[in-house]
């Protein structure tokens, strides 16, 4: 599997705080911060061109 298009996409996204390579069901875990739900929606639409995703949102720290 070629991850380079995904990695290139991720490097260009300013909202991404960390990109972790992980074991298990997924290959990567992204930690991000978005200014709005609209921007998150656009990011997910763009991300879906490179990878499947599962979304979890932090409610409180």
Q: What is the mean pLDDT of residues 21-33?
A: 93
**Domain-embedded: residue 13:** yes
Count Cβ atoms below 10 Å from residue 50 Cβ, excluding itself. 15
CA distances from 40 to 4, 25, 56, 59 (A): 22, 23, 12, 15
**Domain-embedded: residue 21:** yes
Mean pLDDT (the chain) is 95
**Domain-embedded: residue 22:** yes
**Domain-embedded: residue 23:** yes
Number of structural domains the chain divides into? 1
Q: What is the mean pLDDT of residues 13-41?
A: 96
The domain in which residue 20 lies consists of 4-47
**Domain-embedded: residue 54:** no
Q: What is the mean pLDDT of residues 23-43?
A: 95
Cα angle 51, 55, 56; round to 5: 150
Count Cβ atoms below 10 Å from residue 52 Cβ, excluding itself. 7
* pLDDT value of residue 2: 87
* pLDDT value of residue 61: 86
CA distances from 60 to 24, 42, 57 (A): 25, 23, 9
**Domain-embedded: residue 24:** yes
* pLDDT value of residue 43: 98
**Domain-embedded: residue 20:** yes
Write out pLDDT tens, residues 8-20. Answer: 999 999 999 999 9
**Domain-embedded: residue 58:** no
């Amino acid at each position: 599997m070629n991850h380079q298009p995904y990695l290139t996409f991720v490097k260009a996204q300013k909202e991404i705080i960390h990109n972790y390579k992980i074991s298990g069901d997924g290959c990567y875990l992204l930690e991000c911060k978005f200014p709005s739900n609209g921007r998150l929606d656009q990011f997910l639409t763009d991300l879906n061109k490179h990878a499947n995703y599962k979304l979890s949102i932090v409610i409180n720290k």
